[in-house]
Amino acid sequence: MSNKRPLILVTNDDGMFAPGIKSLVDVARAFGEVVVVAPNSPQSAKGHAVTLEDPIRINRVDAFDGLEAYECSGTPVDCVKLAKYKVLNGRTIDLCLSGVNHGSNASVNIIYSGTISAAMEASLDNIPSIGFSLLNYSFDADFGPAKVVARKIIASVIENPLRDTQLLNVNIPNVPLDQLKGIKVCRQADGRWVEEFQEGEDPRGQKYYWLTGRFIIEDVKVGTDIHALDNNYVSVVPSGHDLTTYPAIESNSSLEKIRL
C-alpha cells in the first residue's frame, strides 16, 4: 500500500449495533480513514445473497464517534456494493474488514457466512479483505483478545501485502489472550450441518419450521482451521471465489463424449 492514509471499509453481518463491529472499528481507525456500511438488521447466514427483487436504502447514522457510517437495508454483499458505487463513489478502497462476527466461520461455515461473503465481494475487485470471527455467539462476548488479533493481522497485511489471495478468513478461539498460542495459516476443514427443525403452529394454526442444527466435523487433521482452533491457535484460511474442483476436470472428462 502507498504511504497515504489507507481508506478502510468496515462491514459485518450482525448489524450496525453489534458489539463485534464496534471492536473492529475501534481497531481499524488507528490504521486509516474508516467508513462503515453495515446492515440495519441481523444478516447472519445470508451467504453471498444480493437483493434484486426489492430496492435497498442507506441512512447515515451516528454510530461511531466522528466516523462516516451508514446502515443499509440489504445483505452484507449489498453493503459492499453500495459502499463502493454510492457511498465512496468509486474512491479506491485499500482494505475491507468484516466482522468481528459473533460466532465461528471456520470450516464449511464460510459458504453460509454473510461476514465472509461481504469480504469476498470486496476481494473480487482485488481489494485486500479480511473477515474476523470470534468463537462466541453471545452478545456479551469479550472481544478484547479479538481486538489484539485483528490489530496485529491488519498491521501485518498493510506492511506485507497478501500473496496469491485477497481474502483471509480469520477465526479466533474464545479464550483469554494469554491462552492464545499464536496464528496458523491453514486450510478449511470439511464439515456439515445436521439439521433439527423446531416445529410449531403459528397463531393462525399454520405449521412452521424453524431451522436449528448441529455442526458435524470429522476432518480435524493437522493443517485444518478446526485443528488450529481446537488447539487455541487463531486460524487464517486464505480463501477465494474459484469453486472449480480441478482434479475433477480430468476425471470426469468422459462427459465430453456425450453426443447432443
Q: Is 108 in the site for its own copies (CB under 8 A)?
A: yes
CA-based nearest residue to 127, from 1, 34, 233: 1
- The 192-231 site mask, x for binding its own copies (CB under 8 A), equals xx-xxx--x-x---xxxxxx--------------------
User: CA 135, CA 169: separation in Å to the nearest integer?
Assistant: 13
Residue from the set 111, 158, 175, 220 that interacts with its own copies by CB under 8 A = 111
Q: Is 160 in the site for its own copies (CB under 8 A)?
A: yes
CA-based nearest residue to 13, from 75, 97, 68: 75
Q: Is 105 in the site for its own copies (CB under 8 A)?
A: no
Stretch that binds its own copies, among 1-9, 30-38, 60-68, 156-164 (CB under 8 A): 156-164
The amino acid at 128: P
- Cβ neighbours for 247, distance < 8 A, ≥ 6 positions apart: none
Half-sphere exposure of 16 (CA within 13 A, CB side): 23
Nearest 5°: CA angle at 211, between 206 and 212?
135
Specify the DSSP class assigned to residue 224.
B
CB 58, min distance to its own copies, A:
7
How far, CA to CA in Å, does 1 sit from each of 88, 142, 156, 238?
Answer: 19, 31, 12, 19
Q: Is 146 in the site for its own copies (CB under 8 A)?
A: no
Query: Terminal CA-to-CA distance of the chain, rounded, Å?
Result: 51
Stretch that binds its own copies, among 2-10, 23-31, 94-102, 119-127 (CB under 8 A): 119-127
CB 245, min distance to its own copies, A:
4
Q: Is 236 in the site for its own copies (CB under 8 A)?
A: yes
Of 4 and 208, CB closest to its own copies: 208
Q: Is 84 in the site for its own copies (CB under 8 A)?
A: yes
Of 65 and 256, CB closest to its own copies: 256
Element (H, E) at 214: strand 213-216
Applying CB under 8 A, the site for its own copies has a residue count of 92
Of 66 and 247, CB closest to its own copies: 247
Q: Is 260 in the site for its own copies (CB under 8 A)?
A: yes
User: CA 113, CA 193: separation in Å to the nearest integer?
Assistant: 13
Q: Is 147 in the site for its own copies (CB under 8 A)?
A: no
Q: Is 78 in the site for its own copies (CB under 8 A)?
A: yes
Element (H, E) at 147: helix 144-159
CB 101, min distance to its own copies, A:
13
Of 62 and 164, CB closest to its own copies: 164
Q: Name residues contacting its own copies, limited to 45-74 (CB under 8 A).
A: 45-58
Please tell me the total number of residues recorded for the chain in this structure: 260
User: CA 24, CA 101: separation in Å to the nearest integer?
Assistant: 10
Of 52 and 66, CB closest to its own copies: 52
